[in-house]
Amino acid sequence: MYVFCVGMYRSCSTWQYNVACRLLERHRDARRLGPLTEEAFQEIDRRGHDTSSWLVLKCHDSNPSFAAALAEGRALALYSFRDLRDVCYSLMHKFGQTFEQVTEPRGLLRGCVAGDAFWTAQTRTLCQQYERLMEQPLAGVREIAAHLGVEPAEGEAESLVDEFSLPANRQRAAHFADRLRQEGHDLSDPANALLWDPDSLLHWNHIRTGEAGSWRRLSDSSQLATLALACGPWLIERGYETDFSWARAGLDYLENVLHNGVPAFQRHVLLSREIRQEQAASLESARRTMEELEARLSSYADLGPDALGVARAAKHFSLRFPRLARWAKRVMGRTA
């Protein structure tokens, strides 16, 4: 049996991996495979293995081969998700990237949105929320054990909570960083940002604060606008927000940008690269209203989740803030 630990970036997926490995090593004589690409998994799967043995591996990206194994009953999966606004700033810390790099159309944040849609649709998958795992790790351990069909011994779940607590993992990461420095690695070099311990899979810079809601003090108005359009609908669907009121400062910023003309509008309202390629057709629809723009973009199914996500965000903004639709109509009309 395979166990896929496929959580969203920066959402306790490594914690899930370590808990699952420890439980299965004790109760099912499991083996850790660590992070695997789809190609590496296909090669292992082709060679075959004793179906009574358990293999635990980790991956973040959408993976059709994993989905097939789940559907065939040959695997179980653990998936974790987190407020994408916090994920954004955690990604910046972890990979040494700028906000713009993380949120660009092909950036890691958009990949998280696409991955979430993929993994939450898979069968035999336990979905756990980061914020709840931080608040109730014991419940999280017990959920994982039940999903894997393991009955922990008395006190075992509690000991796993302690073993993989935030302070314990922070200490592991610090010790790993010290070891890398002693081996001569320059940890200020971005090329070394992805060095990880082969057993725990913790990176030397893996642990930040673990805080939920840090985006509130880290984001400026332009970033709020970006986040609202990149993941606003997802936040509502997941229950993190009920509307776009959290991004009001971003709306004010957008309104100011709209007054400054089309180039700024195109740059800051985050029309994706794909939409810009189709803007000759899109602009005609945008002149009618932002709500009509959504209908137009909905026909571009082949453009993928980026285009549709922007379209959904446009509708939410236009319904809650009618002035935005009027300004967009006026600004876009200047290009006619």
The model's pLDDT over 7-58, given as tens digits with 9 standing for 90+, comes to: 999 899 999 999 999 999 999 989 999 898 889 999 989 887 666 789 999 9
Which is higher by pLDDT, 172 or 66?
Answer: 66
The 10s digit of each residue's pLDDT in 178-223 is: 777 888 877 777 766 666 677 777 655 656 666 788 999 999 988 9
User: Are residue 17 and residue 125 in the same domain, yes or no?
Assistant: yes
User: Are residue 237 and residue 131 in the same domain, yes or no?
Assistant: no
User: Are residue 164 and residue 239 in the same domain, yes or no?
Assistant: no
282 pLDDT above the threshold of 50: no
Domain contains 93: no
Within the chain, how many helices (H) and strands (E) appear?
19, 5
User: Are residue 6 and residue 149 in the same domain, yes or no?
Assistant: yes
pLDDT of residue 177: 75
Domain contains 321: yes
Domain contains 26: yes
What would the mean pLDDT of 113-128 be, rounded to a whole number? 96
Domain contains 189: no
User: Are residue 53 and residue 148 in the same domain, yes or no?
Assistant: yes
Provide the percentage of residues in the chain whose pLDDT is more than 70.
69
Domain contains 41: yes
Q: Token match 């302690």: residue?
A: 162
Instruction: Tally the domains of the chain.
Output: 2
275 pLDDT above the threshold of 80: no
The 10s digit of each residue's pLDDT in 101-111 is: 999 988 999 99
CB 55 within 8 A of CB 30: yes
Which is higher by pLDDT, 302 or 159?
Answer: 159
Domain contains 53: yes
User: Are residue 26 and residue 126 in the same domain, yes or no?
Assistant: yes
Domain boundary among 132, 155, 170: 170
Q: In whole numbers, what is the pLDDT of the chain averaged over residues? A: 78
User: Are residue 166 and residue 224 in the same domain, yes or no?
Assistant: no
Domain contains 214: no
CB neighbour class for 224 (10 Å; exposed up to 12, middle 13-18, buried from 19): buried
Q: Which domain holds residue 301?
A: 219-333
Other beta carbons within 10 angstroms of residue 236's beta carbon come to 16
User: Are residue 269 and residue 326 in the same domain, yes or no?
Assistant: yes
Q: What CATH number did the domain enclosing 120 receive?
A: 3.40.50.300
| Cα dihedral 35/38/41/42 (nearest 10) | -170
CB 308 within 8 A of CB 224: no
What would the mean pLDDT of 232-255 be, rounded to a whole number? 87
User: Are residue 164 and residue 223 in the same domain, yes or no?
Assistant: no
pLDDT of residue 54: 95
Q: pLDDT class for 302, splitting at 50, 70, 90?
A: very low
Non-local (6+) Cβ contacts of 129 within 8 A are 80, 81, 82
Domain contains 201: no
Which is higher by pLDDT, 143 or 226?
Answer: 143
User: Are residue 135 and residue 258 in the same domain, yes or no?
Assistant: no
Per-position b or e across 115-138, b if 16+ CB within 10 A of its CB? bbebbeebeebbebbbbebbeebe
User: Are residue 165 and residue 304 in the same domain, yes or no?
Assistant: no
Rounded to 5°, angle at Cα 184 from 179 and 186:
95
User: Are residue 41 and residue 115 in the same domain, yes or no?
Assistant: yes
SS3 at position 134 = helix
Domain boundary among 132, 149, 170: 170
Q: Which helix (H) or strand (E) holds 298?
A: helix 290-298
Report the predicted TM-score, pTM, of the whole model to 2 decimal places. 0.74
What would the mean pLDDT of 155-164 be, rounded to a whole number? 95
Q: pLDDT class for 171, splitting at 50, 70, 90?
A: confident
